[in-house]
Structure 1
Amino acid sequence: MRSVVYSETGPSAVLRLVERPEPAAGPGEVVVRVTRSGVNPTDWKHRAGTGLSDLHGEVAPGHDGAGVVEAVGPGVDHVGVGDRVWLLLARHGRDYGTAAERTVQPANRVVPLPDGASFDLGAALGVPFVTAHRLLTSGAVPRLAPGALAGHTVLVAGGAGAVGNAAIQLARWAGATVVTTVSSARKGALAHAAGAHHVVNYREGDPAAGILAVAPAGVDLIAEVAPAANTALDLAVARVHGTIAVYAIDGGGDLVLPVRPALSKNLRFEFTVLYTLDETLVQAAVDDITAALSDNAVRVGEPAGLPLHHYDLAETADAHDAVERGAVGKVLVDLD
C-alpha cells in the first residue's frame, strides 16, 4: 500500500511517499481502506518537532479520516466489512495514522458513518468536532442533544476556524444562541454560514460592546482559541458562573489572569486537549456527534462555512503547509 511517512522531525520536506505492507486486524482491531484523511494543526506540529512530537521511528501522520472497513478482528461487532466509517485519534498511541491507503485501528476509534454523510464530512469530524464537543460540555451541560443548550449563550472565539465551525454547528444544534468573533468580513460570512446567530468583527469597534449588546448579562460559555490575547475580553463578557473553555494557545502560550475579576464572577476556567481526555468523554462526544449526524445538523463545504481544500496523497506535504499557513476551511488528503 502507499503511505506518506516521516522518520525525522522537521519541515514538510521530511514527508515522503513510500510503499508499505498492508496491515492485518488483530483482536479488537479494524482495517480501514482510507478514502479521505483530514489534516489538523496537530499533525504538522507533531511532524515539525514541537512539544507535541512523539516520534519513535517511522510515522504516518493523520488522526482523522474516513473510508470503508476491509477487515475486522475477533471481538469487533459494531462494524463489518464494507461499512462506511470515520476515524478519530488514529495516530494517538500508534505509528500509522490515516495518511496511508489502509490503517489498522482499535475498534473504539472506528465509528459508523451514516449513508447520507460524505467521506469529506467523515474526515472532518475527529479533532475539530470532538474538541468542540468537550468545550461545549465543559460548563453545566454534560451532554449535547437538541435543546440541551436552550437558554444558553455561547461565544465562539475564532468562528471561522475548523474547531470554531464545529462549535458553532454543535451549539446551534443543541439550542444555544451562538455569538462568534472573527477578524474579517470573509470570515464573518463563513461563521454566519456555519450557523452563528451573531458575528462580531473584533477589528472593528469594541468587541466587548458588540457581544454584550447581544447578551447583556454576559455569555454562559466561551470556547477560547487565544486565551492570552483575549483575557480582558473574556473577563468582560463572561456572565456570573460562566465557563471559559480553552483549547489552543494562539496569540501566546502564557496566560496572565487577573484574579479579582474572575473571582467576582465565580468563573470556571477549563482546558482541553484530546490526547489525555478520559475515554468516557471521548465516547460521549462520539455518541453526540453521531446523533447530530443523524439529524443532518453537521455539514462541511462553503455553504456550511467550512471550505474544503483537497490534495492528493503525494501532495501531503503541501496539505501540511496549507494548514500551517492558516488555510481557512478544512484541508483533506484524497486517497481514492
Structure 2
Amino acid sequence: MRAIVYTQTGDSSVLESSEREIAEPGSGEIRVRVIVSGVNPTDWKTRRGSNAAPTGVESVPNQDGAGIVDAVGPGVSQFAVGDRVWLGISAWQRPASGTAQEYTITLASRAFPLPDAVSFEEGAAFGVPAVTAHRALTVAEDGPAQLAPGALDGRVVLVAGGAGAVGHAAIQLARWAGATVITTVSGSDKAALAEAAGAHHVVSYRDPDAEQQIRGLAPDGVDIVVEVAAGANAALDQAVTHPRSTIASYGNDGGVPLTIEFGRAISLNLRYQFVLIYTMGPEAWVAAGAAVTAAAADGALGIGDETGLPVHRYPLERTAEAHDAVEGGVVGKVLIEVAEAGR
C-alpha cells in the first residue's frame, strides 16, 4: 500500500513516499481504509521533534482522518467491517498508525462512527480541532461534561481566534449547545469567517476598547473562554470574566508568558484549565466522540467557505506541501485525499 513515512525529524523534506505491508489488527484494534487524512499543527510539530518516535523508527504522519473499517481485531465489538468512521489522535504513541497511508491500524477507542450524511472530508476535519473545542467547552466547574443541544443554554462563550480550526469548531459546538458566542479575531477577513461559522458577535482584539466591547455584549461577564493565546490575551480574558468563570486554554500562540492577576483571580474563584486532548483521560474522549458525532449528524459541524473554514486539498504524494501549508499558517483546513473522494 502507499504511505508517507519519515525516520528522522526535521522539515517536510524528511517525508518520503513508501510502500508498506498491509498489517492485521490485533486485540482492541481495527484496520481502516483511509479516504481522507487531516493535517493539524500537532502533525508538523511532531515531525519536527515534539513527542516524536526515536530516530530510525518508521513513522507515518497525521493524527486525524476518516475512512471505512476494513478489518476488526479480537475484542472489538463496537465496529464491523464496512462501518464509516472518523479518527482522532490515531498516531499518538503509535508512530505507524498515522493516517497518511491507504490503510492504518488504530485503536478502536480512537475511532468514532461517521454518520451517513457526513462526508469523509468533514470527518477528517473533526479529530484534534473538534475534540479540543469540546474539551474546552466542558471543563467549567458549573458546566456540562458533555455537549448536547441545550447544554449551554444561557451561557456566554468567548472564543479567541474564531477563524482557526479549533476556534471554528468551538463556535459551532457552542452554538449547537445553545450558547451565545462572542469571538475575537485580528481583522475583517477573519471576522467574516467567524460570522460564517455562527458567531453571534465578533470583536477585533486589536481594538483598544476590546474589553469594553465584550463587556457591552456580556455585561455580567463571559462564562467560558476558549483560548488559543493564553499569554497575549491574559489581561483581556481576566477582565471580561465573572465569579466562577473558566478560561480554557489549549495554546499560547505568540509565546507571551502567562501572567495572572492573583487578587482578581482568587476573588472571582477564576478557573484556568489547560487543555491537551492526548492526556485528558478516556471518559473525556468518550464524551467528546459522542458529542462531535451527534453534532455532525445534526449538520452543526460543516466545513468549507460557506461555514467559515476554507478547505485546502492535496493528494497523498504532496503531503509535504500540505504540512508546509499548515506550518506556514494557512487559514482553513488542510486535507489529504488518500483515496477516491466520496461520502
Q: TM-score with structure 2 length normalisation?
A: 0.95
Q: Output the CA distance in 1 between the equivalents of 2:296 and 2:154.
A: 23
- 1:302/1:30 CA distance change after superposition, 3 Å: same
Q: Output the CA distance in 1 between the equivalents of 2:6 and 2:162.
A: 32
Match of 2:86 in 1: 86
317-326 vs 201-210, greater mean Cα deviation: 201-210
CA displacement, residues 40-90 of structure 1 (integer Å, 9 cap, x when unaligned):
00000011124x334451100111000111111122222211221111110
Q: How does 1:186-265 map to 2 (within 5 A)?
A: 186-252=189-255, 254-265=257-268
Match of 1:53 in 2: 52
CA displacement, residues 213-258 of structure 1 (integer Å, 9 cap, x when unaligned):
1001110010011011011101111112110001011011631222
Deviation at 1:172, TM superposition (A): 0.3
Q: How does 1:241-320 map to 2 (within 5 A)?
A: 241-252=244-255, 254-320=257-323
Q: Note the residue ranges of structure 1 that are not aligned, 5 or more in a row.
A: none
Amino acid at match of 1:334: E
Q: Output the CA distance in 1 between the equivalents of 2:177 and 2:133.
A: 12
Deviation at 1:151, TM superposition (A): 0.6
* Identical positions, percent: 55
Match of 2:5 in 1: 5
Ranges of 4+ aligned residues in structure 1 off by more than 2 Å: 52-56
For residue 227 of structure 1, give the secondary structure of its aligned residue in structure 2. Answer: coil
Amino acid at match of 1:89: I
Q: Output the CA distance in 1 between the equivalents of 2:226 and 2:53.
A: 27
Q: Note the residue ranges of structure 2 that are not aligned, 5 or more in a row.
A: none
For residue 323 of structure 2, give the secondary structure of its aligned residue in structure 1. Answer: helix
CA displacement, residues 266-301 of structure 1 (integer Å, 9 cap, x when unaligned):
201100111111111111100111221222221111
For residue 309 of structure 2, give the secondary structure of its aligned residue in structure 1. Answer: coil
Over the residues paired in the alignment, what is the CA RMSD in angstroms?
Answer: 1.1
Q: Output the CA distance in 2 between the equivalents of 1:43 and 1:163.
A: 15
Match of 1:123 in 2: 124
Match of 1:27 in 2: 27
Match of 1:15 in 2: 15
Amino acid at match of 1:111: F
Q: TM-score with structure 1 length normalisation?
A: 0.97
Amino acid at match of 1:129: A
Q: Output the CA distance in 2 between the equivalents of 1:177 and 1:240.
A: 18
Amino acid at match of 2:114: L
CA displacement, residues 121-152 of structure 1 (integer Å, 9 cap, x when unaligned):
00000000110000000112222111110010
For residue 172 of structure 1, give the secondary structure of its aligned residue in structure 2. Answer: helix
Match of 1:326 in 2: 329
Amino acid at match of 1:2: R
Q: Output the CA distance in 1 between the equivalents of 2:42 and 2:189.
A: 25
Task: Please say if residues 53 and 59 of structure 2, whose CA atoms lie closer than 8 Å, have aligned partners that are also in contact.
Answer: no
Amino acid at match of 1:81: V
Match of 2:138 in 1: 137
For residue 179 of structure 1, give the secondary structure of its aligned residue in structure 2. Answer: strand
Match of 1:77 in 2: 77
For residue 192 of structure 2, give the secondary structure of its aligned residue in structure 1. Answer: helix
Task: Please say if residues 53 and 95 of structure 2, whose CA atoms lie closer than 8 Å, have aligned partners that are also in contact.
Answer: no
Amino acid at match of 1:3: A
Amino acid at match of 1:108: S
